[in-house]
Structure 1
Amino acid sequence: MTQSDSATNPANLYTAQATAVGGRAGHVHSSDDRLDLDLSVPAETGGDGGSGTNPEQLFAAGYAACFQSALGVVGRRMKLDTSLSEVTAQVGLQKDGLAFKLDVELQVKIPGVDKTAAEEAVNAAHQVCPYSVATRGNVDVRLSVLDS
């Protein structure tokens, strides 16, 4: 699918576009100029560990933000105050034969909400979050509800 096909798909509420040059040690830039970042390969994966970000950090940031928003939607439906919630996404890169794969843990804190209700909200958010839907069956995603 080309960008023009995606951008004109009437089902899309929003279409993001970013271009990478130079791979993991290159640069990423969004079409609206809001994202403009250098990339560096982490030392743990054989890179120089430079000052740039990496795809796993970008994925972790996107997943954490998206999941926290989904938690807000679910919280409103459940009449729970999730406004002070925090979601930390840990995204691991693993070798899988000749390929690589991702491993994700979402750590969630919901201050003022008892653990049982928090677990129910987190499980419900996992059903509606677009990142969770996209990774389901493809990426090992673990959910952890932490004490606030």
Structure 2
Amino acid sequence: MDDDIPPLLPLHEIAPLRSQAALHRQWRAMMGPLGFAGRRLWLLFLQPDDRPTELLMQIDDVPDSPREGEADSLLRLCREVRREHDLGRVAVLLSRPGPAGVRASDRRWGRALLEAARQTGVPLAPLHLATDEAVVPLTGDDLLETG
């Protein structure tokens, strides 16, 4: 169980999120006490210097698997938001109820988001997963596993 919740700082006090560890701390602070009723995608837009912005999109009721073209549409929207506001990378976290451990559905979302980001040219920060027990990065090894 991940009970260590860092303080959620005001935006102007947050250092650039240039490492996976810094991004993990930010997501952990933003999630607060863990426990989720459903699957949700969180998209945090970062400044070109990797400082977080106030632009945070939440997509509720995300299905177990992305529908055809869903990740592409989402990343095209991210591309337009980045262009309109002159922003940098996009940090993405998938939250869902249940125990820690990467599930096949988490892998499907991670793979779809990474492929859509590649196709649309949207730079992503390391992907993260939040469950009822922990916030963890979705590593390349996690996404390569079968299932």
Greater relative contact order (Cα < 8 A, sep 6+): 2
TM surpasses 0.5: no
TM-score normalized with structure 2 length: 0.31
